[in-house]
Amino acid sequence: MITLQEYLSVGALLFTVGLLIVLFRQNAISILMGIELMLNAANINFVAFSNALGGLTGQVLAIFVVVAAAAEAAVAIAIIVLLYQNLGTVDVEKARNLNG
Amino acid sequence: MFLLRYIVLPPLIALLANLLLGRWWGRKTTATLACGSVLLSFLVSLRDSYYLYMITLPETRVASDVMFTWLSIGRFEIPVEFVLDPLSGAMCLIITGVGFLIHLYSVGYMWHDPGFRRFFVYLNLFIVFMLLLVLADNLLLLFVGWEGVGLCSYLLIGFWHADMKNASAGKKAFVVNRIGDLGFLIGLLLVFAAFNTLSVSEMQEIISDAIARHLPLPLAPLAATVICLCLFVGACGKSAQIPLYVWLPDAMAGPTPVSALIHAATMVTAGVYMIARLHFLYAFSPFASGVVAVVGAATAIYAAIIGLAQNDIKKVLAYSTVSQLGYMFLAVGVGAYTFGIFHLATHAFFKALLFLGSGSVIHALSGEQDLRKMGGLCRRLPVTFWTFLAGTLAIAGVWPLAGFFSKDEILIAARLAETPLISGRALFAVGLSAAFLTAFYMGRLFVMAFLGPCRVEADKQHHIHESPWTMTVPLIVLALLSAVGGAAGVYHHSFARWLSPLYGAPDAAPPAVEHFVMAASLAVAFGGLALSFLFYLQAPTLPDRLARTAGWLYRWVAEKFYVDELYEWIVVRPVYYVGVAGQAFDKHVVDRAVNWTGGGLKGAGFLLSFFQSGNVGTYAIWFLIGVSILLHVMR
Amino acid sequence: MSHLLPDILFYVFSALSVAGAVLVLVNRNPMTCAMSLVVSVLSLAILYLLLSAHFLAVAQMIVYAGAIVVLFIFVIMLLNLTDEELGRFRFSLFKTIGAFVAVATLLAVAPDIRVSIPAPAAGDAGAPAGYGSTKAVGKLLFGEFLLPFELTSILILSAMVAGVVLAKRELQPKKTHSLVDWLLGFFRT
Amino acid sequence: MISITAADLSGISPALHLAVAGIAIMLLDALWPMRSKLLSVWITLAALGCSLTTSLHRLTAGVDVTLFNGAVRMDGYAHAFSAIICLASTLAVLSAPKYLRLRGVHLAEYYALLLFSVCGMVLFAAAEELIMLFLALETLSIPVYCLVGFTRTNVYSTEASMKYFVIGAFATGFLVYGIALLYGAAGSGYLVDLRAGAARAPGLFYAGMTLLLVGFLFKIGAVPFNMWTPDAYEGAPTPVTTFMAEAVKAAPFGGMIKVLFVGFGFDAAVGLWQPALVVIAVLTMTVGNLTALVQTDVKRMMGYSSIAHSGYILVGILAASKLQSADALAAVLYYLFVYVLMNAGAFGILILFSHKDKDTNAVEDLTGLARERPWAAALMAVYMLSLTGLPPLAGFFGKFYIFSYAVKAGYVPLVIIAILNSVVSAYYYLKVIVAMYFRGPEDTGRAAVFHYEGYSVFLLAMLWFTAWGILYYGIHSEPQLALARLAASSLFATAP
């Protein structure tokens, strides 16, 4: 029997993997993918809770998160292109002029 | 009808006018406005104080003037309220009176300075804040004045910024004063927590109410001690007491009238004033009062010792100021508030006089401040010489000049004091020794500057000149005040009676003690002066004269040599080394402590900025560690 | 058998989804990463279907597979990133410790969360008819969540403007001063 | 059934003005491209002014309405934050044209994005429901990511934008996950229902609460979520830094206080956030101030200083939560108001002397300013002294109120640490004054040039207004405090 717990576990796993991607990849595009995965992990929680609570609110929340994720991705892509134009790389760890 | 707000307003208006419109008028107008406004304040304070005196019942001699409600915290309001009582009246008179004289003096002193207008704007601003400080009923308003005078002091120390190659002097002044303010602010918040008000009169009412109705006091003894000590830390910073005195000698970098006004007569006495104002709090805590007395006594003697070995004329006076402030704290610490304030007043007269006199000397010598390059100025600067003599005798405590009476009263009070920390006899002994040293270094200063052969550098010799009238008139007035101010104060106990609504009539000391102390203080005053004259006036020529009168006898020659050595080894050297040791302590321990604190904080800053590597991946890791810890904590 | 089907589907697609995510983590080639991401999000869409979130499942497919990942691929190809530029999977002691701390925390906190999850309502009656359908979701979107919904339009608009402003080549219009410019010139600040 | 009533629209008009103005600017710019963007500036100022006056008017009138089926609630609290944010944004907008023109990026999009962001901020403090909160947060952040990178050819600007985005999106991930957990625990997204989750599913609830809090703490730059702040502040174009330091700083407090007070409440059972915030406040103040000590760049220094100020504000929030008094919360609002004025001024001076090819950002660049430009130096001194907290400037009273309520609430050690910190902070603010007043070209060995390039009346007006405000509201803070109390009491009316 698949219960709420199983879905939440999938969410937690996805969140952890997304987190690790942000931590261990230096490629800005990969980092963005990691962040998308983190948001998706939250989404599966929303939907699972929605189902368990017997309302549709959670699903609607998930839709909003998808929208926000898309908006973030659009800006992020622009920033990445800009980064590549100015620094000639998409390696975020190479951009460390600002420090101290 | 009291016109309290018109005490503060004239300098404020004058400074605004000079600031905004000053560029369109000349120096004369600027100077007239600046000086005239302070004179006006003085006259208004005089008038108000007279009206206060006319109130028959001494207990009701309080006037207040609410300008507007400033701010409110919750249901509790802080009005901008000025209160005139005998204490603030006396302070106002000193500030505006001495302040006016110093303004007048500055006109001559700063006439050729390109920053003339700016100088007077700062000076007037200082007067405004100082008046705010003494007239405030609310501690928060007092704190505004407190910070304001600090700001002016800082601006004026750095007035000749070109001379301040290393801003470390200003920095030191600021850092040390912030430590003091820290104490003050914590004290303030604790007062607020205890009394739920910051108004001094309300605090006093609460306490007297509680005593009258036998209610528990709003304040446990321990709390009172903590509050008093916190406030005293603030007073230490502002009034340059151990260990926060280090900034004052460095503050001499500013123009001399500033040293006279801010760093001698008025601002540095704010700490004494504050404790005198809050005397009812200190009455609850004998321990805190004892600490005040001990720190005051220690500062008095410590600064006097360092003063022995200084060669800069203003540095000597600066350490002397620290030492005299120590006397005032000693007085308020042993509960002799009246005499603390009395000494504050006389000190304002003679120390302002001495600073202005030294300024006159420096002015005449084109900026020379080294005592070793002065001497023999008595003929060239007669007015300065005679007035300076009055000041020197006054501070040394020679009867019947001002310093004698006030110092004498403090020593009597110290002799009779009972503090939980230290016996009155010890305080008396320390005070007496400090009086001796005071007489000695002041005598030395006087001799080296005015008597003996002229050691002024050749190129500066020809234009030694007496100062213009704007500079000499204040000197003469202050000399008169230094001469008669003390006697006038003790005549029929007039000063004590004036302050009696606050502190009660002073108890008469046992005549035996009184006579003993009087004799002792006179003895040390004359002893110190005589010794200094002997060393610095007679000693250099003593060998010559001995050689002339008894030159034919080898034995006499040998004995002359012996006398010289005796002087050298028994008196001069020890005194010199004690002074040098004090100075070294000052430089290496106290200064370093200040610097190390700053250095340590900066080091921590560097360490922390190292974490800010610029690598966004690292930022994410720190973020994550933060989340992890929070998740652990909050479950 | 049929009641086992959802279970099997769940395990298969959740495994696929996590596997896709792990591939994103370990794979060097960004194109492969993008494809793995598609696998992951599409598997999630199937999970949504299992939870009877039909509309959301479709939206997920369209938005992710159709828009976001396409955008990624577009940029990867546009920038023509070489392998060296992409950098490697870089371990450092600090990062490893950080990750270890994080994972350990999650593991430590997970049981707390687990026990506190409310038990599902007894007797799973299945979703009511129309649950998760476009109509039901739409009613909610335009009713209770009307303001958030309207706000997303501002959000998307600003994201669009932001993207264009950052990535556009020519900033200033070529046109010379217009009449309004000339008029406003009087009020030059 | 689509149901927008007139009451709904008029209720959120402070936000609506801004969104409409933003769209209007975009449309006008597309239809009628002009080289001078003054029209955009004026539209922006008009919209912000409308919102500001509307908010203030409704605040004084005591308007309190719940709109859009409970998604937002425009009460005194929301209106007060709206007013603060609009004021802050107005100041930021006034400082922008000169700088952007010099950098060749004076675009209408700047103002449109800024307005969209402000629209999000206004709704953020008004949100009554988690998803509204989240969307408002996104709406306020996404334009700012772009604004930070607005000088597109500047390497630092791009880097700052990238860093801000990466950490920001990372934080958003946590925030959304937290919202999901809270939703699961409470079974509802409405703030007032959240507390129920603590009993229903404590594990979920606390984890969700933590992650949500992390999202807020990131936004306000609390340690250890602060690392982006100095980098973003330094790299961003100075007017954007101004915007970030005021509006983007003040707005998250609006949402955070509401969520903490209305959502989580003060019960010991759900009050775990209080001790955690104490530690974070201490760390935030100390790390911010100590690191600021060693900075040589004013913008970066102000970044650390803003971290430290977040710490002071957290102290105020803690005091308000412990005392549960509107007066204490009013102190926080007053502090935010004052903080906005001080920061706008300080950055304004930097913009005043920025040149076509070079910014005037280093402390050393200000050497000898007092001799060349005495008024500008005096203004800067006022801002710096106010930031230090010297009476009778407004900055002192901001701190004083907060600290006195914290003492009342029994947070004496916290207050002592805070005061020690403000003593430390005096050093670096003063470094600027020392450079301006007590040093000259002879100390640095290079002649500093202070000429106004691209003179802007907007900027001067902003500088004089802020200086006046600091002096005036220091002496006369009562009206402001009365408004703040009104706002705070409306929040406490709903808080448990």
Q: Judge whether A57 is closer than 8 Å to chain C, CB to CB.
A: yes
Residue D462: inside a domain: yes
C10 CB-near residues (< 8 Å, 6+ apart) = A2, A6, C47, C50
Residue type, D74: M
SS3 state at D289: helix
- Among residues C51, D398, B232, B529, the alpha carbon closest in space to that of A50 is found at C51
Tell me which of A16, A32, A87, A99 to substitute to probe the interface with B (most B C-beta atoms closer than 10 Å).
A99
Minimal C-alpha gap between D407 and chain B (Å): 7
Distance CA C38, CA D410 (A): 55
Residue C105: inside a domain: no
Residue D314: exposed, middle, or buried by beta-carbon count in 10 A (0-12, 13-18, 19+)? buried
Instruction: Please tell me which chains touch C, using 3 or more CB pairs under 8 Å as the contact test.
Output: A, B, D
Residue D1: inside a domain: no
For residue B570, what pLDDT is reported? Answer: 57
Measured from the Cβ of residue D53, the count of other Cβ atoms closer than 10 Å reads 13
Q: Judge whether A91 is closer than 8 Å to chain C, CB to CB.
A: yes
Higher per-residue pLDDT: B235 or C28:
B235
For D445, the token pair is 């060995």
Q: Across-strand partners of D65?
A: D74
Contact D161, A82 (CB under 8 A): yes
Contact D23/C178, CB-based, under 8 Å? no
DSSP string, B85-130: -HHHHHHHHHHHHHHHHHHHHHHHHTTT-TTHHHHHHHHHHHHHHH
Query: Cα angle at C95 between C89 and C100, to 5 degrees?
Result: 110
What element of type H or E holds D213?
Answer: helix D202-220
Higher per-residue pLDDT: B461 or D466:
D466
- Among residues D134, B619, D174, the alpha carbon closest in space to that of A19 is found at D174
Instruction: CATH number of the domain at C44, please.
Output: 1.20.120.1200
D415 CB-near residues (< 8 Å, 6+ apart) = B186, B189, D315, D403, D406, D407
For residue B567, what pLDDT is reported? Answer: 46
Q: Residue B619 is nearest to which of D167, D392, D408, comparing CB atoms?
A: D167
Tell me which of C165, C176, C180 to substitute to probe the interface with D (most D C-beta atoms closer than 10 Å).
C165
Q: What is the 3-state secondary structure (H, E, C) of B219-257?
A: CCHHHHHHHHHHHHHHHHHHHCCCCCCCHHHHHHHCCHH
Residue B324: inside a domain: no
For residue B546, what pLDDT is reported? Answer: 46
Q: Judge whether B518 is closer than 8 Å to chain D, CB to CB.
A: no
Q: Judge whether B545 is closer than 8 Å to chain D, CB to CB.
A: no
Pairing of strands B76-84, B63-73: antiparallel
Taking CB atoms and an 8 Å cut-off, how many pairs form between chains B and D? 152
Tell me which of D158, D273, D293 to substitute to probe the interface with B (most B C-beta atoms closer than 10 Å).
D293
For residue B72, what pLDDT is reported? Answer: 64
D315 CB-near residues (< 8 Å, 6+ apart) = D281, D285, D402, D403, D406, D411, D414, D415, D418
Measured from the Cβ of residue D322, the count of other Cβ atoms closer than 10 Å reads 18
The range of the structural domain enclosing residue B570 comes to 547-616
Contact B631/C109, CB-based, under 8 Å? yes
Contact D465, D354 (CB under 8 A): no
For B628, the token pair is 């992890």
Instruction: Report the percentage of chain B scoring pLDDT > 70.
Output: 88
pLDDT tens digits for D88-121?
999 999 999 999 988 888 889 999 999 999 999 9
Minimal C-alpha gap between B629 and chain A (Å): 16
Contact D36/C159, CB-based, under 8 Å? no
Q: Which pLDDT band, with edges at 50, 70 and 90, does B489 fall under? A: confident
Higher per-residue pLDDT: C114 or B286:
B286
SS3 state at B514: helix
pLDDT mean over B450-469: 79
Minimal C-alpha gap between A26 and chain C (Å): 6
Contact B249, B202 (CB under 8 A): no
pLDDT at D160 over 50: yes
Tell me which of A63, A86, A93 to substitute to probe the interface with C (most C C-beta atoms closer than 10 Å).
A63
For A52, the closest chain D residue by CA position comes to D184
Distance CA A72, CA D159 (A): 17
Q: What is the 3-state secondary structure (H, E, C) of B139-180?
A: HHHHHHHHHHHHHHHHHHHCCCHHHCCCCHHHHHHHHHHHHH
- Among residues B143, B138, B13, the alpha carbon closest in space to that of B66 is found at B138
For D165, the closest chain A residue by CA position comes to A76
Contact B38, B96 (CB under 8 A): yes
Domains of chain A: 4-88 (1.10.287.3510)
Q: Across-strand partners of B76?
A: B73
Q: Which pLDDT band, with edges at 50, 70 and 90, does B147 fall under? A: confident
SS3 state at B65: strand
- Among residues B139, B38, B135, the alpha carbon closest in space to that of B87 is found at B135
For B558, the token pair is 């040998």
The range of the structural domain enclosing residue C50 comes to 1-89
* Most confident among B349-353, C97-101, D88-92 (mean pLDDT): D88-92
Q: What is the ipTM, given to two decimal places?
A: 0.90
Tell me which of A17, A60, A61, A64 to substitute to probe the interface with D (most D C-beta atoms closer than 10 Å).
A61
SS3 state at D360: coil
Cα dihedral value D255, D259, D260, D263, nearest 10: 170
Minimal C-alpha gap between C177 and chain D (Å): 6
Residue B610: inside a domain: yes
Residue C148: inside a domain: no
Instruction: Please tell me which chains touch B, using 3 or more CB pairs under 8 Å as the contact test.
Output: A, C, D
For residue B571, what pLDDT is reported? Answer: 52
Q: Across-strand partners of B418?
A: B423
SS3 state at C143: coil
Residue type, C35: M
Distance CA C98, CA C91 (A): 11
Supply the mean pLDDT for chain D.
89
Pairing of strands D72-74, D65-67: antiparallel
Contact B624/A19, CB-based, under 8 Å? yes
Q: Which residues of C touch A13 (CB under 8 A)?
A: 18, 21
Minimal C-alpha gap between C162 and chain A (Å): 6
Measured from the Cβ of residue B425, the count of other Cβ atoms closer than 10 Å reads 12
For B95, the token pair is 């500030």
| Chain A (23-42) residues lying within 8 Å, Cβ to Cβ, of chain D | 28, 31-32, 35, 38-39, 41-42
Taking CB atoms and an 8 Å cut-off, how many pairs form between chains A and D? 125
Residue D272: inside a domain: yes
Contact A28, A93 (CB under 8 A): no
pLDDT mean over A77-84: 90
Contact A49/D183, CB-based, under 8 Å? yes
SS3 state at D190: strand
Query: Cα angle at B98 between B97 and B101, to 5 degrees?
Result: 95
SS3 state at A91: strand
Domain count along chain B: 1
Minimal C-alpha gap between A71 and chain C (Å): 5
pLDDT at B566 over 60: no
| Chain B (96-155) residues lying within 8 Å, Cβ to Cβ, of chain D | 140, 143-144, 147-148, 151, 155
pLDDT at B423 over 90: no
Q: Which residues of D touch C113 (CB under 8 A)?
A: 181, 203-204, 207
Residue D181: inside a domain: yes
Distance CA B290, CA B229 (A): 10
D271 CB-near residues (< 8 Å, 6+ apart) = D264, D265, D321
Q: Judge whether A20 is closer than 8 Å to chain B, CB to CB.
A: no
B10 CB-near residues (< 8 Å, 6+ apart) = B36, B37, B38, B40, B41, B44
Q: Which residues of A touch B606 (CB under 8 A)?
A: none
Q: Which pLDDT band, with edges at 50, 70 and 90, does B113 fall under? A: confident
Mean pLDDT is lowest, of B5-9, B79-83, B491-495, for: B491-495
Give Cα D237 to chain centroid, integer Å: 17
B106 CB-near residues (< 8 Å, 6+ apart) = B119, B120, B123, B255, B257
DSSP string, B355-410: HHHHHHHHHHTTT--BGGG----TTT-HHHHHHHHHHHHHHHT-TTSHHHHHHHHH
Q: Which pLDDT band, with edges at 50, 70 and 90, does C86 fall under? A: low
pLDDT mean over C52-56: 89
For D490, the token pair is 């409306």
For B608, the closest chain A residue by CA position comes to A100
Residue C76: inside a domain: yes
- C-alpha separations of A43 from B418, B510, C45, D152, D201 in Å: 77, 91, 10, 34, 19
For residue C122, what pLDDT is reported? Answer: 41
Residue type, B269: T
pLDDT tens digits for C119-178?
655 444 456 667 778 888 888 888 888 999 999 999 999 999 999 888 876 655 555 555
Minimal C-alpha gap between A1 and chain D (Å): 20
Give Cα C23 to chain centroid, integer Å: 17
- Among residues B58, B43, B63, B56, the alpha carbon closest in space to that of B1 is found at B63
Instruction: Please tell me which chains touch A, using 3 or more CB pairs under 8 Å as the contact test.
Output: B, C, D
pLDDT tens digits for D65-74?
988 888 899 9
Distance CA B188, CA B204 (A): 15
Minimal C-alpha gap between A56 and chain D (Å): 11
In D2-79, DSSP assigns E strands to 65-67, 72-74
DSSP string, D126-174: HB-BHHHHHHHHHHHHHHHHHHHT-STT-HHHHHHHHHHHHHHHHHHHH
For D409, the closest chain B residue by CA position comes to B193
Contact C72/A20, CB-based, under 8 Å? no
Higher per-residue pLDDT: D91 or B305:
D91
Minimal C-alpha gap between A34 and chain B (Å): 13
Contact C52, C61 (CB under 8 A): no
Give Cα B462 to chain centroid, integer Å: 35
Helix axis angle for C146-167 and D130-148, nearest 10°, is 10
Distance CA D311, CA D314 (A): 5
Residue B583: inside a domain: yes
pLDDT at D347 over 90: yes
For B129, the token pair is 């804040």
Minimal C-alpha gap between B279 and chain D (Å): 24
Q: Judge whether B627 is closer than 8 Å to chain A, CB to CB.
A: no
Residue whose token pair is 């929070």: B630
Higher per-residue pLDDT: C166 or D475:
C166
Residue D373: inside a domain: yes
